[in-house]
Structure 1
């Protein structure tokens, strides 16, 4: 069993010197105004509080803005490319099933797809995206792309499941070029 310290506590004496730091740390050194701080840059005097000019002083009733985060959250980070909003029809081939959906926004890197079915647990997806023609006499251009589903949430404003899809491979490389040209026209 450990011995208890039964020595009496010495009385506190009045003194002009500042108190020691918590725990009796003797590495903390105090200096009077105008005296150099030990260990600091030589000949750099301490300024008295009266000599320091405040940047701003808040008055009663002032609204102080909240600090902004150093980095936006992952939901606010901008995409590496523009994601213009479209309403293109798409067929999603998932695990042997075909689901009809609508592309909400798209880039050459991926898309957000609205579906009536939750495909969150699917490992991969193949899309046939029906791009409407610029000229009404031309047929739709169908982009074929394989992708990976990275997220699925229920979008109440659309009354559908919105799946975020990363494009892994276009069946024809010309489809990527065509998609890029259609996005830039927007």
Structure 2
């Protein structure tokens, strides 16, 4: 009898042959602007810690104090039983800082894009998206009920062409682009 999951190993082998198999890079120590990787100190250009805040002494102290007071986590997702007073305090301070009626803190940019994009468009709307937008934007667009169109990366002329071609067919149009494209560093 053949292995019913043998196709998985075949797929993995094919990915390795093509140089497409992903190996996780294990970092040693703190993750700041520079990190230790494979015994070498290297500049970190692919993290979410652009400002090095995760090693800032005041933030570390605040995190330690919060762990002492609240524990190491909320114990549940926010929609069930995980919203803590800390969430509300942070959201209130952010709302005051931004001079808006309210804010909602989500755990990642990916979650924000997946949650927000489908809420601001509906049937009869169109989303026009840059060809090289982040995967989280693409997934958020796919989750929406809106029609979709893509324009060539950072090409305002192509965006204008798509707008002229499609504008009259839809109630509202949402144009979505990254600010800084994470895969190549281009700025919109």
TM surpasses 0.5: no
TM-score by length of 2: 0.19
**Larger-gyration structure (1/2):** 1
TM-score by length of 1: 0.19
Q: Which structure carries more strand by proportion?
A: 1
